[in-house]
């Protein structure tokens, strides 16, 4: 949509059900047709009713964003001036995870670290450098014309093949599990005009070898990395029964909008489907600088968090399966995965077609846990009942006697933290993360909204009283 310095903008706002069909970065326009001229596909059609009980059937489009996959390489001479200019800004980007913070200084280094606060001061307790930028360590190729080029990589984002530029960071902190080879990261830059050079994806693809995807506007200056221009898509609406070709209130709104005397800053027209889905058309008089702020406000309203529901029968079954050890939880997105079977073990593993490499991080031994629990003041403090801050507490259990660590010559151990979290993914009731604060001494965090009352059901040894917990669930 082309904007003048002052213009009238109709914003279409769809509640989440339609938002899954329509993409919010594409322009849409409603076309009011006197009657449906072609058969309507039911799965793309939604019936809306105005406040005056006028019924309309609207057919939703299926937009597609495409990239021109015309070449697999780009000349170094085209990329290097822009890359040098970008690196000269000495910009650093940060990505906080549950335990680690990732620091990416473009053209400098990539660092992974964990901080803790002691008497109000921040102290870095662990850090690894995942690579440094070296211009002479980049992957260059020679084309048929004997010219030096970069390879253009294509990766899927939202089911689209998106072109990316790979920049290599090498010579990081030596990796013990990988014969002390230096850590290394490949950064894939993807074009996004309105981004702030943020890290949108990070994973360990093999032992101490990482991949990072960064959305950045600098690469958009190279045409091959830009997406094809999106067209304006039509939402075709037709009246049903005795409804007017265009809703009465919409026509009145448009007349007021066109009134040269002006009748206010804007107006709004709404229609609602039988299942409660609402289509809102908002007219507002705005300047270019206001458009971004208004769009962000609309997105915020659509994405307001919902209230966490009370526990159901399936929640009780999940807790029963987990605490009985029948349902083992797995996590990890990189080369190494991790698994906990409650009351049994915690392992780290990597699966190949016909082989599994597995490291036992800890086994459950109640006596070892009690010895650790009684000598750890911090753990006893964390398990005290405190109603005001209960949702920020966690229950800690020690799994010990894991496989012998080559560096320390001692068995591995892992502290399992069962933590309350109001957030959960669509695929699982619990999320897991594994960190290594000290060599071969791990922390496995398991976060779930189902653990928010767990602290009320631990015994004097800090161990969950599972029967009492399950009895408390209706």
Asked if residues 273 and 46 have their Cβ atoms less than 8 Å apart, the reply is yes
**C-beta atoms surrounding 402 within 10 Å:** 23
Cβ contact 163:184 at 8 Å? no
Same domain, 182 and 240: no
Residue 308 counted as domain residue: no
Q: Global pTM?
A: 0.46
- Are 13 and 39 within one domain? yes
Q: Are residues 368 and 452 in the same domain?
A: yes
User: Does residue 187 sit in the same domain as residue 249?
Assistant: no
404/265 same-domain check: no
> Which region holds residue 264: left if phi is over 0, alpha if psi is between -120 and 50, else beta?
left
Alpha carbon of 302 to those of 108, 117, 263: distances in Å?
38, 36, 28
The answer to whether residues 168 and 260 belong to one domain is no
Number of domains within the chain: 3
Backbone angles phi, psi at 139, to 5 degrees: -85, 105
441 and 330 in a common domain = yes
pLDDT tens for each residue of the chain, 474 residues long: 333 333 333 444 333 334 334 554 456 678 888 765 555 555 567 888 888 888 888 887 766 555 555 578 999 999 999 999 999 988 888 888 767 889 999 999 999 988 766 655 667 678 899 999 999 999 989 888 899 999 999 988 877 788 999 999 999 999 888 888 999 999 999 998 878 888 888 988 888 999 999 999 999 999 889 876 555 677 888 888 888 888 887 877 777 665 544 444 455 667 676 666 666 665 554 444 444 443 443 343 334 443 444 666 777 888 888 888 888 888 876 677 889 999 999 998 887 777 788 889 999 999 999 889 888 744 444 444 444 444 447 889 999 999 998 878 899 999 999 988 765 544 457 888 888 877 888 888 888 888 888 888 888 888 888 888 888 776
Q: Are residues 298 and 418 in the same domain?
A: no
Domain that holds residue 445: 313-471
Contact between 220 and 194 (Cβ < 8 Å):
no
* 221 and 239 assigned to the same domain: no
328 and 431 inside one domain: yes
Residue 339: which CATH number? 2.70.130.10
Residue 307 lies in a domain: no
Q: Are residues 320 and 451 in the same domain?
A: yes
Residues 281 and 321 in one domain: no
């Amino acid at each position: 949509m082309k904007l003048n310095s002052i213009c009238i903008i109709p914003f279409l706002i769809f509640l989440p059900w339609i938002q899954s069909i329509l993409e919010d970065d594409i322009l849409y326009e409603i076309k009011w047709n006197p009657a449906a001229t072609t058969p309507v596909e039911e799965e793309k059609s939604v019936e809306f009713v105005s406040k005056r009980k006028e019924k309309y059937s609207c057919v939703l489009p299926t937009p597609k964003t495409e990239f021109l996959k015309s070449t697999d390489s780009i000349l170094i001479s085209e990329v290097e001036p822009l890359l040098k200019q970008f690196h000269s800004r000495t910009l650093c980007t940060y990505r906080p995870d549950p335990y680690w913070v990732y620091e990416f200084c473009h053209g400098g280094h990539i660092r992974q670290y964990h901080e803790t606060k002691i008497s109000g001061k921040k102290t870095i307790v662990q850090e690894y450098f995942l690579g440094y930028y070296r211009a002479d360590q980049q992957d260059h190729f020679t084309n048929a014309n004997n010219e030096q080029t970069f390879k253009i990589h294509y990766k899927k984002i939202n089911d689209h093949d998106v072109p990316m530029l790979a920049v290599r960071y090498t010579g990081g902190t030596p990796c013990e599990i990988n014969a002390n080879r230096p850590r290394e990261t490949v950064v894939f830059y993807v074009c996004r005009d309105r981004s702030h050079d943020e890290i949108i994806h990070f994973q360990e693809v093999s032992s101490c070898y990482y991949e990072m995807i960064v959305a950045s506007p600098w690469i958009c200056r190279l045409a091959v990395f830009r997406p094809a221009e999106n067209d304006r898509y039509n939402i075709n609406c037709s009246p049903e029964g005795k409804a007017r070709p265009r809703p009465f209130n919409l026509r009145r709104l448009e007349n007021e909008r066109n009134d040269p005397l002006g009748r206010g800053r804007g107006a709004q027209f709404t229609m609602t489907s039988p299942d409660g889905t609402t289509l809102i058309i908002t007219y507002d008089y705005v300047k270019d600088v206001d458009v971004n702020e208004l769009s962000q406000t609309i997105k915020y309203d659509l994405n307001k968090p919902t209230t966490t529901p009370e526990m159901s029968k399936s929640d009780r079954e999940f807790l029963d399966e987990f605490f009985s050890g029948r349902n083992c939880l797995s996590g990890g997105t990189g080369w190494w995965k991790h698994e906990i079977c409650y009351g049994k073990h915690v392992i780290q593993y990597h699966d190949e077609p016909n082989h599994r490499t597995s490291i036992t991080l800890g086994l459950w031994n109640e006596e070892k846990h009690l010895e650790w629990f009684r000598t750890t003041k911090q753990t006893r403090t964390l398990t005290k009942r405190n109603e005001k801050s209960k949702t920020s507490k966690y229950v800690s259990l020690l799994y010990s006697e894991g496989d012998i660590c080559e560096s320390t010559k001692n068995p591995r151990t892992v502290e399992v933290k069962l933590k309350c979290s109001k957030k959960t993914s669509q695929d699982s009731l619990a999320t897991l993360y594994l960190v290594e604060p000290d060599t071969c001494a791990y922390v496995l965090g398991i976060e779930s909204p189902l653990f928010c009352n767990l602290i009320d059901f631990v015994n004097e040894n800090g161990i969950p009283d599972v029967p009492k917990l399950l009895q408390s669930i209706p």
